[in-house]
Amino acid sequence: MLLVDKHRPRKLEALHYHQGLSSRLKALANSGDFPHLLVYGPSGAGKKTRIVATLKELYGPGVEKIKIDSRVFMTTTNRKIEFNIVASVYHIEITPSDVGNHDRVIIQSLLKEIGQTQQVDIAAKQKFKVVVINEADHLTRDAQAALRRTMEKYSPNLRLILIANSTANIIAPIKSRTLLIRVAAPTIDEMVGVLKHVAELERFEFSDKLARRVAEESGRNLRRALLMFEALYAQNEVVKDNTPIPPPDYETLIGQIADELLADHSPARILLVRAKFYDLLTHCIPATVILKLLTFRLVAKIDDVLKAEVIKWAAFYEHRIHLGSKVIFHLEAFVAKFLRILESYLMGMEF
Ligand SMILES: Nc1ncnc2c1ncn2[C@@H]1O[C@H](COP(=O)(O)OP(=O)(O)OP(=O)(O)O)[C@@H](O)[C@H]1O
């Protein structure tokens, strides 16, 4: 098991930082009047960990016994869409953005079904079920409107916890019906505290100086810091204060893709790079993360006049990724576009 999972705190009291927030969540969970929540903050700040701990406070340890259900939904055009649900007796967790534009169907059918049934366990501490919605900021407008309606209609049986990176894409009526909770990224000192704690549990020698370097290089993303910390010990027999910190494997691979594209601009390169894209995708690296990192790597190495154009097309294909279903097409299309822009520039043509 990876350290990020092995040492993930399971209770609100065990969370290392933002103590004020933990005690507020605890008070809410015990108040008997739990509201809908919108939890937002940057990646790796500990949103999910905090929510799982809150659910435990609400329902007790039974909430940790989860199973994965695969369900099939029908769209209005009679297309079948498969969708996975993570559920315990007390709550369910969904990521509607997995089905792109069909997210409204999921929200409507699933929430209606849950909202109309009461808690099965009579001894449950709460009468309502909780629905955790991941990546709520990627929901389409239609899905958000459907969500807003369910919030009003089924509120006796249902509480929503929406997770998002930012509230910018969330419609105002949802914001006004939820309690907004911001989970800020931990400070470097707070991260050093967590890293030292994990090192102690694993009995690793870990100096403050090295902990600080890991925290700083992770960009205040705690998950990334813990992964880097683990890689550091897995790849080196002796770890010193100045041992280079290896970047995650997927970043190295994306760096290689960027170098290969810059070295040769032929169509054959696109084919070669495709295998690497598949490799990343099968390891569950989201296509948007691949596109973003690849763009940053490419932009750092091209002429200034091209930068704005490349970023514009990266944004265009990122949008396409959200709309379409075969992400590989859009990654390849971006690569082809990039090579065309570069070639045109090198040949002195308009791009
Ligand atoms: N308060 C905390 N104390 C100690 N460790 C923590 C704390 N919060 C989070 N962590 C660690 O950081 C890791 C990342 O946290 P988490 O998955 O909750 O982040 P997130 O904000 O939901 O990220 P993302 O938005 O990318 O899904 C967890 O696996 C856990 O090990």
**ipTM, 2 decimals?**
0.94
Q: Whole domain around residue 36: which residue ranges?
A: 3-182
pLDDT digit string, tens, across residues 7-47:
888 889 889 889 999 999 999 999 888 999 999 999 999 99
Centre of ligand 1 from the C-alpha of residue 15, in Å = 10
Q: Is residue 240 part of a domain?
A: no
Number of domains in the chain: 3
Measuring from atom 7 of ligand 1, which residue has the nearest CA?
A: 46
Atom of ligand 1 nearest to the CA of 134: 27
Measuring from atom 15 of ligand 1, which residue has the nearest CA?
A: 46
pLDDT digit string, tens, across residues 184-237:
999 999 999 999 999 888 888 888 888 899 999 888 999 989 988 888 888 877
Q: Is residue 35 part of a domain?
A: yes
Atom of ligand 1 nearest to the CA of 18: 1
Centre of ligand 1 from the C-alpha of residue 276, in Å = 28
pLDDT score for 239: 79
Centre of ligand 1 from the C-alpha of residue 43, in Å = 8
Q: Report yes or no on whether pTM surpasses 0.80.
A: yes
193 & 332 share domain: no
CATH number, domain at 53? Answer: 3.40.50.300
Contact 343, 265 (CB under 8 A): yes
The closest of 83, 122, 127 to 103, measured between CA atoms, is 83
Among the candidates 182, 198, 216, a domain finishes at 182
**Which parts of the chain fold into alpha helices (H)?**
3-6, 19-30, 47-59, 103-116, 141-153, 172-177, 188-202, 208-217, 222-235, 249-263, 267-282, 287-300, 304-323, 327-346
Q: Is residue 243 part of a domain?
A: no
133 & 21 share domain: yes
100 & 163 share domain: yes
What is the spatial distance between Cα 114 and Cα 109, in angstroms, rounded to a whole number? Answer: 9
Among the candidates 139, 164, 182, a domain finishes at 182
Centre of ligand 1 from the C-alpha of residue 117, in Å = 32
Ligand 1 test: best mutation among 166, 223, 224, 230, most atoms within 8 Å of CB? 223
173 & 192 share domain: no
Centre of ligand 1 from the C-alpha of residue 49, in Å = 5
Q: Is residue 50 part of a domain?
A: yes
What is the spatial distance between Cα 167 and Cα 148, in angstroms, rounded to a whole number? Answer: 15
168 & 66 share domain: yes
The closest of 131, 132, 121 to 60, measured between CA atoms, is 121
51 & 138 share domain: yes
39 & 160 share domain: yes
Task: Give the list of residues 6+ apart from residue 57 with CB closer than 8 angstroms, or none.
Answer: 11, 12, 25, 26, 29, 30
